[in-house]
Amino acid sequence: MVMKLEKVVPFGRSLAEYKSMFALSEADLDKTIVGVGDGPASFNAEMFGMGKSVVSVDPLYVFSSDEIEKQFYSVVDAIIAQVEASSDDWVWTYHESPEHLKENRVNVLRRFLSDYETGKREGRYVVGELPSIDFGKRAFQLALCSHFLFLYSDHLSYDFHRASVREMLRLAPEARIFPLLTLMLQPPPYLQPLIEELASEGFEVTVEKVDYELQRGGNEMLRIRTRA
């Protein structure tokens, strides 16, 4: 049994998860970072607490903290139930169990909500969405996209993926995308064609193993760099 979702769900990840998912080094953490589709991740809040620079962009941020919290709790139990019913599809190393996964997601949400309204006023949480984001060229040094591109291949077209990756590379000279797996636990149909297209245009494109794996087989990241 694989997970079936009709829309992108309001789940977020922690700084520790971002570091593992994107193989972020200490030098990477010192860069100006844009997180595309961060949702209610605590990554921004935790980085801000360390004096680091992150701007998170998501259409979810049109909502208030109370509305986001309500959306999260309206779906979390049903999603965890799906996880429990498909236990062979998951790797319980970072998260020890479905119960631990839920606990982590709740803690991440709470940390996000404690920072959200202040962060919005400070311009750290910005309403926007791929494939067009309202920042200037090279406004950042690193662009990250977690659990959106490729994961929702059944919902989003190849043209959307291509335009979205190009937009990330307009915003920053390097983009990283995780995971490289669909919700159906299959290789994304758009991944190889997009790699070939970007490589033919002179971008440096690599698929790299990372330390994070929750969906079975979902332990790879796409890294795209503009050649100097």
- pLDDT, tens digit, 9 for 90 and up, residues 34-82: 999 999 999 999 999 999 999 999 999 999 999 999 999 999 999 999 9
Q: Is the pLDDT of residue 7 over 70?
A: no
pLDDT band of 8, cuts 50, 70, 90:
low
**In this predicted structure, what is the pLDDT of residue 5?**
36
pLDDT band of 6, cuts 50, 70, 90:
very low
In a domain, 102, yes or no: yes
Report field, pTM of the whole predicted structure over 0.85? yes
**In this predicted structure, what is the pLDDT of residue 154?**
87
Helix, strand, or coil here: 189?
A: coil
The rounded mean pLDDT for the chain is 94
**In this predicted structure, what is the pLDDT of residue 184?**
87
Predicted confidence (pLDDT) per residue in 109-128, tens digit: 999 999 999 999 999 999 99
Let me know: does 128 contact 57? Beta carbons within 8 Å: yes
Tell me the CATH number at 172.
Answer: 3.40.50.150
The two tokens of residue 111 are 């940390």
Question: Average pLDDT in the 204-227 region?
Answer: 96
In a domain, 4, yes or no: no
Q: Is the pLDDT of residue 183 over 90?
A: no
Q: Is the pLDDT of residue 215 over 50?
A: yes
In a domain, 2, yes or no: no
Closest residue by Cα to residue 139 from 170, 110, 162: 170
Let me know: does 168 contact 175? Beta carbons within 8 Å: yes
Contacts of the segment 59-68: beta carbons below 8 A, 24+ positions apart: 59/127, 59/128, 59/129, 60/10, 61/120, 61/125, 61/126, 61/127, 62/127, 64/117, 65/113, 65/116, 65/117, 68/10, 68/40, 68/113, 68/116
The two tokens of residue 171 are 């915003």
Which domain, by its residues, includes 118? Answer: 15-225
Q: Is the pLDDT of residue 2 over 60?
A: no
Ranking 31-35, 168-172, 183-187, 191-195 by mean pLDDT, the lowest is 183-187
In a domain, 10, yes or no: no
In a domain, 89, yes or no: yes
**In this predicted structure, what is the pLDDT of residue 9?**
66
Q: Is the pLDDT of residue 1 over 80?
A: no
Task: Report how many domains make up the chain.
Answer: 1
pLDDT band of 88, cuts 50, 70, 90:
confident
In a domain, 9, yes or no: no
In a domain, 7, yes or no: no
**In this predicted structure, what is the pLDDT of residue 228?**
67
